[in-house]
Amino acid sequence: MTTENANDWLNEHGDYLYRFALARLRDPHQAEDVVQETFFAAIKNNSFAEQSSPRTWLTGILKHKIIDVMRKKNRETPASELMHESDANMDEFFDDKGHWVDKPQTWDVPDNLLEQKQFMGVLQKCIDKVPNKLATLFMMRDVEEKDNQEICKELNITTTNAWVMLYRARMGIRKCLEINWIGH
């Protein structure tokens, strides 16, 4: 797709794509973002083979962008939803100067620290037992908390393949932990 095509396609299909995205996401800002990402992907990949209409091709790209947003939204819970009504009034824990009324207890219990170090050692051994590419994917996603698109690009895999591989990595590590730690 050339820049000329992109401008023509934006004028011709932009409103349709925005309405399509807005109907599914119900957020005008997210709808704008995914439409913009759709056109960016279309320009970047330049893979339109004219086997379908430009609108059909762009809508296909848009559907994938919408799915990515929905998955991300399902993985993330706003902090406001995590708080209970009883937790909302935090003022009772602080004095007028913003200092703790009663200092929180320390969490550094030596037995717990030792157990945590032992667990981390077992976890690392379990990660080492899964195939290298699965271990890399697990570390990138669950430890480094990289987003899926970045991982797919770096590992040169599809989104679907990433989810399957992540599931296999998690199951392998879980099974190893059940044998070497939980049954410990």
The pLDDT tens digits of the residues spanning 106-123 come to 655 556 666 777 888 888
Cα 149 to Cα 155: distance, rounded to the nearest angstrom: 10
Phi, psi for 94 (deg, rounded to 5) = -125, 150
Query: What residue segments make up the domains of the chain, in order of their start?
Result: 3-77, 110-182
**3-state SS class at 85:** helix
Cα 77 → chain centroid: 12
Q: What are phi and psi of 100, to 5 degrees?
A: -60, 135
Q: Are 107 and 113 in contact (CB under 8 A)?
A: no
pLDDT averaged over the chain?
A: 79
> What is the mean predicted confidence (pLDDT) over 69-75?
79
Q: What number does CATH give the domain 3-77?
A: 1.10.1740
pLDDT digits (tens, 9 = 90+) for 133-151: 888 888 888 888 888 898 8
The CATH number corresponding to 110-182 among 3.90.650.10, 1.20.120.420, 1.10.10.10, 3.20.20.70 equals 1.10.10.10
Closest by CA to 31, choosing from 57, 4, 70, 2, is 70
Helices (H), the chain: 3-25, 28-45, 54-75, 79-82, 110-129, 132-138, 148-155, 159-177
